[in-house]
Structure 1
Amino acid sequence: MLKNIVRIFNLIHIGMVYLAKAMIVAMVLITFTNVVLRYGFNSGLIWSEEVSLLLAVWFIFIAMGLGVKQGLHINISLFDVAKMPKWLDAALTRLRDLVVIAVGIIMLRYGWTLVGFTMKSIMPATNWPAGWLYASVPFSAVIILYEALTQLFRIDTNDAAVDAFLSGKG
């Protein structure tokens, strides 16, 4: 069962990378097209700012989830790890994982609530539910919780190839 969950999340991670790349390309194309239309032809795409905002928010929260996987979240080095006792290093690493889990739980709880409130609101230019914008928060929270829990419990995810792919080396 655990192997299947790990396999599913590894596929989700790879899909998230491709999705993030597509979102960046789409944002650039939409913004470029809108600028050309606005300044070159004195018209524009009414929906471009809304869609670009949606893509940017989703990109940021996808990157946040992938950043936790890669250990790219904010770290403060107060102590020289080489001089620190192993038990203290292990305890501080566990504390870090617990803090990330707490942040993930908060994001999931309040993100879900926010999506529920905003699904009834409609974005003016696209007529899409505003909840789509905020759905990135609980989505990212699930990824963050998965990564933090696997790190906390030292679960071997057998994903060296996925990590190499995510870091651009694969």
Structure 2
Amino acid sequence: MKNLVLGVNDAIYRACIGVAGLAIVIMALIIPWGVFSRYALGQGLGWPEPIAILLMVLFTFVGAAASYRAGAHMAVNALSDRLPPQVQPFLTLFVRLAMAAISLFMLVWGYKLCVATWNQYLSTLTWLRVGLSYAPIPLGGFITLLFVLEQLLYGDQHKRRVVDYECTEDSKEAV
């Protein structure tokens, strides 16, 4: 079961990195196009800025989930580093439970926000529903919650090589 969970979460993690990276690349292409169009061509386009904002929201929530799993998220260790070693696991557990609560909040209330605004359309992109523009919030909350549960069950994964869980006892003895 552990191998399945870690394998699925590895795939989700790589997908998060890919989506976040693609969002940044697209933003880096359309923002200069909007500037070029406005100042060089003399016609301002209405779509580059709102699309860039939507991509930034996607990058933020999906990228934050990947960052959390990788252990690259912002953390302040000033308190935990000064605590006695026997107390640190309890603080770690508290932080993970708090992250689970925050992720669950994002999932539930983000979903409610999407549902409440589903029948509205963005004024600058009349074909895009407002509820869809908020979808990265519950999506990021769900993915982060998966990664928090993974940490609660199997510990930190940011120092694990991807192939560590694939090794069997036989292959470990052979090495």
Q: Check whether TM > 0.5.
A: yes
1:57 and 1:149 mapped to 2: Cα distance? 24
| Equivalence for 1:134 | 134
Q: Percent identity?
A: 27
How far 1:80 sits from its partner (Å)? Answer: 6.4
Q: Tell me if 1:37 matches 2:69.
A: no
After the TM superposition, list the runs of 4 or more consecutive aligned residues in structure 1 that deviate by more than 6 angstroms.
Answer: none
2:84 and 2:13 mapped to 1: Cα distance? 34
Conserved? CA contact 1:10–1:159, under 8 Å? no
1:20 and 1:27 mapped to 2: Cα distance? 11
Conserved? CA contact 1:46–1:125, under 8 Å? yes
Distance 1:156 1:74, change over 3 A: closer
| Equivalence for 1:96 | 95
Q: Secondary structure at the match of 1:109?
A: helix
Q: Which runs of 5 or more structure 1 residues have no equivalent in the other structure? A: 163-170
Conserved? CA contact 2:120–2:129, under 8 Å? yes
Distance 1:91 1:155, change over 3 A: closer
1:71-124 alpha-carbon deviations (Å, 9 max, x no partner): 23343334463x643320111111111110110111111001011112111112
Report the TM-score, using the length of structure 1 for normalisation. 0.84
1:118 and 1:5 mapped to 2: Cα distance? 34
| Equivalence for 1:22 | 22
Count, aligned residues = 161
| Equivalence for 2:10 | 10
Q: Which runs of 5 or more structure 2 residues have no equivalent in the other structure? A: 164-175
Conserved? CA contact 2:80–2:91, under 8 Å? no
Conserved? CA contact 2:111–2:138, under 8 Å? yes
| Equivalence for 1:112 | 111
| Equivalence for 2:122 | 123
Report the residue type matching 1:55 in the other structure.
L
Report the TM-score, using the length of structure 2 for normalisation. 0.82
